[in-house]
Chains A and B, each alone.
Chain A
Amino acid sequence: MMDSVSESNMNQIDETLMGLPLAKTPSGQKVVFTDVDKYHDLISYLFNEGFNFASDLCGVDYLTNFDRKLPVGVKAERFEVVVNLLSHAKKERIRVRAMVKEVDPLISTVVDIYPGVENMEREAFDMYGIVFKGHPDMTRILMPEGWEGHPLRKDYSTGRVPVQFKESLGPR
C-alpha cells in the first residue's frame, strides 16, 4: 500500500495542456494544474474541447499539508479551486486544480462558461473565502448572511462559535 505512494506519478508530467502540466492519478484520472492567471483561459479552452458539462467545483485548504505532491513547475499555494469537467460526447472527465494564494484569495469566475457552477462557487466562497471575480451573486449560500469567518478553513476549529443566529433572543 505504501508503495503506491512512492510509485505515484503525480510528480512526473505526462503531458502538457496549453503549456500547463497534465498529470494522471494512479487510477488514471486526468488532472491539469494551473495558476489563477491562466485559469479562465484553460476552462474556456476545455469547454471548446468538448467538455460541455461542469460536474463539480469546490475549494480545498492545504494549510496543514502545504508541501503536497505537485508536478514540477507548479507553485503550491494554500487554497485550491478544484473543477471537475465532463464530456458527454467523449464520456471522459478532466480535473482542473487551480492554486489560489492565501492573502486576498481571488480567482475569476467561470459562470460565464458554465452557468451551473454558480451555486458551487458561492459555496466555495462561503466555506473558504475564495472570491470569484465577476460572479453575479457572490454571497454566502449555506451559512447565515451575517456569519463571520469561513468554516471549512483549516484554522477554523469546530465548535469554536456557539451557533447563535441574529434573530434569536438567547436563553430565556
Chain B
Amino acid sequence: MTDDKKLNDSKLGNSAVLRLPESLGTDIEDLNEIEFGAGEKMIVNMGPQHPSTHGVLRVMMELEGETVLRCKPIIGYLHTGMEKTAEDLTYVQGATNVTRMDYLSPLSNELVFSLAVEDLLGVDIPPRATWIRMLMCELNRMSSHLMWLATNGMDLGATTMMIFGFRERELILSFFEKTTGLRMNHNYIRPGGVAADVPDGWEEDVEAIYKTVLFRLDEYDEFFTGQPIFRERVEGVGTLLAETAIELSVTGPLLRASGVPWDLRKTMPYLAYDEVDFDVIVGSVGDNFDRYAVRLNEIRESAKIVSQILEKMPRGDYRAQDAKVTPPPRARIDQSMEALIHHFKLFTEGVIVPEGETYVAVESPRGELGCYMASDGTGRPLRMHVRAPSFVNLQALPPLLRGSLVADAVASISSVDPVMGEVDR
C-alpha cells in the first residue's frame, strides 16, 4: 500500500485510476463487498454495450452524485489474438491481419507493418510507391477524422454532424474502393511497395475530394465551431495537462491538443513528409474543444498535403522490383521459369526476412502507431507487436473524467477517439 501511495503522490495521472478488480460491481451481491470511503459514493459500470463507448469499452466509474471521481477503463472484449495470429501468417499475408486492427485507418496499419518488414529486409522503395503511400495515408487521415467528427457530434446530440461526417467520408472511401478494390481492410500497402498503381484519372478524383472536403469544413465551422451551444458543451471539459499526457505516453491529437507540438510526420519524418509543407496543429488548454479543433484543422492540413502530392507525384514503378520480396509481373510468369519459381516461393514460403528486430513508428490519426517486429530468419515473424495508440491513450481517461459530470464523460470518451479493434487487437 505504501508503494501505491508513493505512486499517487509522485505522478499526476495515477490518482484518478480506480483500483478495483474488473469483475467487481457486475453482480448486485458484489456491491456489498466494495468498501466506500466517507460520503455516498457508488460504482457505476458504463458499457461494454453503450452507444457512446464506440464499441465495447467498459468504464467503471466511481460517482458522487453525478460527478465522476475515479474510473477504470476495462478492455479486452474485442480481443481476438491478432498478434498471435500474426505469428502464423507469412510476411505476405501479414498486412491482411494488421489492416483489421484500426479499422478506421487501415492504411496506417498496413504502412507501419510494411515499413517494419522493409526495415528488416533492407529493401528500398521506389519514390512513386512512397508518394502513393503518403497520398493514401493522408486521405485516410481525413476520412478517419471525419468519422470522428461524425461520432463525436452524435455523442453530443448533434445528429446533423453524424450525417455530414459520413457523407464526406464516403467520398474518400469511394476513391479507396476504386484504387484498392475495398472500402476498408484494403491490404493495399504491402512490403515492397503498394498493390497496384493509382487508377487513371486519380488526379481529378483526389482534387474533387479535397476541394469538397475543404468547402464543407467551412460549413462545419458555421454549424459547430462558432456555435454557442456546442462551445459551452465542450469548452473546459475533460482538460488534460501536457505533463500528464507525456507521463501517460499519450500521443496524437490528444497530446497536441494539450499543447505539445509532437507529430512524427514533422518531428521524425518518414516516407517523404519532409518534402511537403504542412503545419502541426497544437491546442492550448487540452479540453474537448481543443481536441475538436485540432482534428478539424488536421483535416485541412491533410488536404494541403494531398494537394502538394498531386503536383509532386513522381513517375516510375509502384513497387520494388526485387524478386525475393515482390511478385513478378503477371506477363513474366508465362515466359520465364525463374519468374514462375519466384512467384511460387513467394506465395508458399513468403518473404524470407533475415534475423533481427526493429521498432518502426508512424503517426496514425490516433497517435504513434508502432510496430515491433522480431524475425528468426524464416518466412513468418517470431513476434509482431503493434503499439496501438488508442490502447495507450485510454490511460488518459481517468484524469480526463475526474471531476466531470457523467453527461460530459460521454463527450470526453469520444474525444479520446478509441477504436476498440485496435485497443484489444
Contact = CB atoms under 8 A, between A and B. Distances in A.
Nearest to A124: B385
Contacts of B372: 56, 58, 82, 84
A151 B387 CA distance: 18
Interface string A118-158: 11100100010000001011011111110000011000001
B88 interface: yes
B84 A151 contact: yes
A158 to B, nearest CB: 6
A111 interface: yes
Interface in A98-118: 111-112, 114-118
A60 B383 contact: yes
Contact of B75 (A91, A118, A142): A142
A78 interface: no
B382 A152 contact: no
Contacts, number: 140
Given A25-B357, A55-B370, A91-B267, A4 B122 contact: yes
A137 B17 CA distance: 10
Contact of B359 (A29, A112, A116, A144): A29
B7 A55 contact: no
Given A56-B359, A114-B249, A139 B22 contact: yes
Given A27-B122, A54-B249, A111-B7, A5 B355 contact: yes
A61 B376 CA distance: 12
Contact of A151 (B81, B268, B395): B81
A56 B22 contact: no
B197 to A, nearest CB: 25
B384 to A, nearest CB: 10
A48 to B, nearest CB: 15
Interface in B220-262: 246-250, 260, 262
B121 interface: yes
Interface residues of A, number: 54
Interface string B109-134: 00000000001011000000000000
Given A88-B262, A158-B88, A143 B7 contact: no
A135 to B, nearest CB: 9
Contact of A1 (B121, B267, B368, B395): B121
B391 interface: yes
Contacts of B22: 139, 145
A38 interface: no
Nearest to A134: B3
Interface stretch (B8-16, B290-298, B403-411): B8-16
A26 interface: yes
Contact of B84 (A2, A27, A117, A152): A152
Contacts of B267: 88, 91
A108 to B, nearest CB: 11
B198 interface: no
Interface string A38-81: 00000000000000111110101110110011000000000000
Contact of A88 (B122, B246, B383): B246
B392 A120 contact: yes
A68 B375 CA distance: 10
B254 to A, nearest CB: 12
Nearest to B81: A151
Nearest to B23: A145
A141 B11 contact: no
Contact of B3 (A10, A26, A52, A136): A136
B4 interface: yes
B34 to A, nearest CB: 16
B14 A136 contact: yes
The residue among B247, B324, B357, B376 with the most chain A CB atoms within 10 A of its own CB is B357
A116 B355 contact: no
Interface of A: 1-2, 4-5, 8, 10, 25-27, 29, 31, 52-56, 58, 60-62, 64-65, 68-69, 82, 84, 88, 91, 93, 95, 111-112, 114-120, 123, 127, 134, 136-137, 139-145, 151-152, 158
9 contacts: A5-B354, A5-B377, A29-B359, A58-B383, A88-B260, A111-B7, A112-B10, A141-B76, A152-B84
Given A1-B352, A145-B23, 19 more contacts: A27-B122, A29-B358, A55-B370, A56-B359, A64-B382, A65-B355, A65-B376, A68-B355, A69-B355, A112-B11, A115-B13, A116-B249, A116-B392, A118-B395, A119-B394, A136-B3, A136-B14, A137-B17, A137-B19
